[in-house]
Amino acid sequence: MIWDNAVLDEATDLEIRYGSGHWHGYRSELLLNQNILPVCSPTLLRAAQSNGDPAILLSRHLIHIMGYENHWLKVRQVLELANAPASEGPTVDTTIAALELAAAGAGVALAHGIFLGAYLTTGRLVSAMPQEFADDNSYFVITPERPQRIRREVQLFRDWLVAVALT
């Protein structure tokens, strides 16, 4: 799911949502919380390292993801760059689009580790900074609050998701 649907959909049995965990009309159970990692192409990182303070240079080459604007704000605050001019870099609507742009050298993207495995393993992306940043939001499995019982197959799938997330 890309966008949070504020309207209760009676046809939905289960969703995975990213957020605070509080949605009216739904029961939520934490799946995972991951830190935010800044990543970029190896070429961009080398350029940043050779031109002074990498944090400042990298903050000028931001790839923005709609719905995750608070990630860059948090990183800028932690790095004490809140007053530095922000980048007018590209804005995309999915994390995967941001990671592909970053791998192509278009800037720095912020993502959770669950999206980064193949990129980091192949070297298409590298950590742009040595630190990770805490995220106030998490991924949740949610089910509508209904008077009827949850269907068995939905319950089995929900239990499996929770078990996998805990490992």
Say which CATH topology domain 36-127 has. D-Maltodextrin-Binding Protein; domain 2 (3.40.190)
- From residue 163, alpha-carbon distances to 32, 78, 152, 166 in Å are 11, 33, 16, 5
| Domain spans in the chain, listed from the N-terminal domain onward | 15-33+137-166, 36-127
Locus of tokens 């990498």 = 54
For 77-100, what is the mean pLDDT?
A: 83
Predicted local distance difference test score (pLDDT) of residue 141: 93
Q: Does the pLDDT value for residue 2 go beyond 50?
A: no
For 15-67, how does the pLDDT look when each residue is reduced to its tens digit (9 = 90+)?
A: 999 999 999 888 899 999 999 999 999 999 988 888 776 666 666 788 999 98
Distance CA 14, CA 28 (A): 10
> Per the structure block, which two tokens stand in for 74?
């948090």
- Residue 87: its pLDDT value, please? 66
pLDDT surpassing 50 at residue 163: yes
State the average pLDDT over residues 135-155: 87
Look at the pTM and tell me if it is higher than 0.85: no
pLDDT digits (tens, 9 = 90+) for 112-134: 999 999 999 999 999 998 889 99
What per-residue confidence (pLDDT) applies to 52? 72
pLDDT of residue 1: 42
Using DSSP, state whether 115 is helix, strand or coil.
helix
Decide if pLDDT at 149 tops 80. Answer: no
